[in-house]
Amino acid sequence: MFNIFRKKSSIPPDGPEQDREFSREQPDAENTGPEQEESRPEEKKEFWGISFSGLKQVVSKTNEFFSENVLSLGQEKEIIDDDFLDDFEEKLIRADLGVDTAIFIAEKLRDSKNNLKPSEVGTFLKNEFRELITGAGSNNINLNQGGLNTFLITGVNGSGKTTLIGKLAYRFSSEGKRVLVAAGDTFRAAAEDQLEIWANRSGADIVRRDNADPASIVFDAIQKAKSENYDILLIDTAGRLHNKFNLMQELGKIKKIIDREAAETLAESILVIDATTGQNGLKQAEVFKEAVDLTCVGLTKLDGSSKGGIVVGIAKELGLPVKLIGVGEKMEDLKDFNSDDFVSAMFS
């Protein structure tokens, strides 16, 4: 009887304590569960990193595409001749590297074809990809430890901006930082509601004024973030307006406000690209490049995409490093990008 009582009484203190821990680590408690446990890689080094086996899983379709369509050439042919080079170039274009990038790499292979066997093309590609990706700059998110860090998020409609902001808010909140989000997409119906849901889940605060001028919302958010000592300000923007001119104008106004009011706090200007759009994503980037100064790319929906080769095109054609990858729709499905691991996972 006494033992039973002791056993029973030892449960409650642990229970709520665990729940508290859990909800602090995982603000989106409702969305967590066995399903998330499964998707979480076992040997990862840190929460926002991704294990090699996890990354391999994410890029498995890209990996499959390369081995079936590009690397297979090495097995089919005896020598690297003009036919081989034509096929090689065409397959790289089909792999969504971006046309210029595909041509550039094929030309490099042409230059070194006398020293290479077809079976060595995989190693050649791996080295080229690594060189191009690292050439675009560091893959680490820029963060100033003391003071405000502003992140401007742009990209076409549906690319995953709001989701990326929600995941970033969760990430920074769980690191103990105070996070404010600005609902700068007033064009799309319910965009502000969607952002508010993400903010609530992650414990971030929001500045929203539906139907107001996005630049004035950004202005208010900057003032609030500064006067109330927030660590992080995440600015959401519209990805589509009535026409390209309007979109450029709106983004230009937001950029002006940031330049005037918070230039020194701008940590990253992130272009969000949907990995499933492949080369179209590169074309869409031009508008945003013109309208705001971009510092890096957040590549979303990499899970399930066979177009992961776009990372190379982003580096070569946009000159931007990928710093974050979206690997699913849940809060923790935003990972740091590591170029070495990524290229290895694409080819192993």
Residues that bind Mg ion (CB under 5 A): 161-162, 191
Q: How far is the CB of 117 from ligand GDP (least distance, A)?
A: 38
The Cα–Cα gap between 270 and 100 comes to: 23
Examine residue 214 and tell whether it contacts ligand GDP (CB under 6 A): no
Residue among 163 and 173 whose Cβ is closer to ligand GDP: 163
Q: How far is the CB of 262 from Mg ion (least distance, A)?
A: 21
Contact string (CB under 6 A) for ligand GDP, positions 23-62, x = contact? ----------------------------------------
> Is residue 235 classed as helix, strand or coil in its secondary structure?
strand
Residue among 29 and 190 whose Cβ is closer to ligand GDP: 190
Which of 171, 201, 208, 301 contacts ligand GDP by CB under 6 A? 301
Residue among 47 and 85 whose Cβ is closer to ligand GDP: 47
180 binds, options Mg ion, ligand GDP, none, Cβ within 5 to 8 A by partner type: none
Strand order in the sheet with 322-326: 205-207, 179-184, 232-237, 149-154, 266-274, 296-300, 322-326, 334-336
Residue type, position 324, single letter: L
Residue among 158 and 252 whose Cβ is closer to ligand GDP: 158
Ranges within 312-331 binding ligand GDP (CB under 6 A): 326-329
Exposure class string for 35-67: b at 16+ Cβ within 10 A, else e: ebeebebeebeeebebbeebbbbbbbebbebbe
249 binds, options ligand GDP, Mg ion, none, Cβ within 5 to 8 A by partner type: none
Residue range at the interface with ligand GDP (CB under 6 A); choices 70-78, 100-108, 216-224, 296-304: 296-304
* Residue whose entry in the numeric block shows the structure tokens 């080769």: 309
Paired with 152 in beta bridges are 235, 269
Please give the helix or strand (H or E) that residue 175 lies within, else none.
none
Which of 63, 149, 162, 306 contacts ligand GDP by CB under 6 A? 162
Residue among 80 and 247 whose Cβ is closer to ligand GDP: 247
Please give the C-alpha separations between residue 49 and each of 41, 175, 327, 333, in angstroms, as whole numbers. 10, 14, 12, 10
Q: Exposure of 31 by Cβ count < 10 A (0-12 exposed, 13-18 middle, 19+ buried)?
A: middle
Q: Would you state the structure tokens that stand for residue 75, as one six-digit string?
A: 């097995």
Q: How far is the CB of 303 from ligand GDP (least distance, A)?
A: 5
The Cα–Cα gap between 94 and 273 comes to: 18
Q: What are phi and psi of 83, to 5 degrees?
A: -60, -45
Nearest one of 323, 345, 261 to 134, comparing CA atoms? 323
327 in Cβ contact with 302 (< 8 Å) = yes
Examine residue 276 and tell whether it contacts ligand GDP (CB under 6 A): no
Contact string (CB under 6 A) for ligand GDP, positions 55-94, x = contact? ----------------------------------------
Q: Would you state the structure tokens that stand for residue 173, as one six-digit string?
A: 């909140």
Residue range at the interface with ligand GDP (CB under 6 A); choices 89-97, 100-108, 121-129, 159-167: 159-167
- Residues of this chain that interact with ligand GDP (CB under 6 A) are 155, 157-163, 239, 272, 300-301, 303, 326-329, 333
